[in-house]
Amino acid sequence: MGDDEQPLAVKVGTVVLTVAAGWAAQKLVGLAWEKATGNVAPTNVDDDELSMVQAVTFAAVSGGVVVLAKRLARKGAVRAEARLRR
């Protein structure tokens, strides 16, 4: 099924779940970063005081968590919509 064929409920559910999952993922990454480095998670990866390695690592970890959250949110929305159809 292509993206254009998704029911509206799945699209809306995906957006809502993605926002919630993104917020939770941001908090989780921040806590993990602080535990691993002893520093607060960076809010600006362009900060000159942040090393290149730290900036790239933070961006990669954050990006990976966002992709995972988005995929899980879509999967959850599709499951919820299927349950509602029964």
Q: What is the pLDDT of residues 35-53, one digit of tens each?
A: 998 988 888 878 888 889 9
Residue the block writes with tokens 């929305």: 77
| Of 64, 57, 12, the residue nearest 39 (C-alpha) | 57
Task: With respect to residue 26, please indicate whether it lies within any of the assigned structural domains.
Answer: yes
Q: Flag whether the pTM goes above 0.85.
A: no
Which structural domain range is residue 36 located in?
Answer: 21-85
Task: With respect to residue 54, please indicate whether it lies within any of the assigned structural domains.
Answer: yes
Domains contained in the chain, number = 1
Euclidean distance between CA atoms 1 and 61, whole angstroms = 30
- CB-based contacts of 39-43 (< 8 A; 24+ apart in sequence): none
The confidence band for 2, taking pLDDT boundaries of 50, 70 and 90, is low
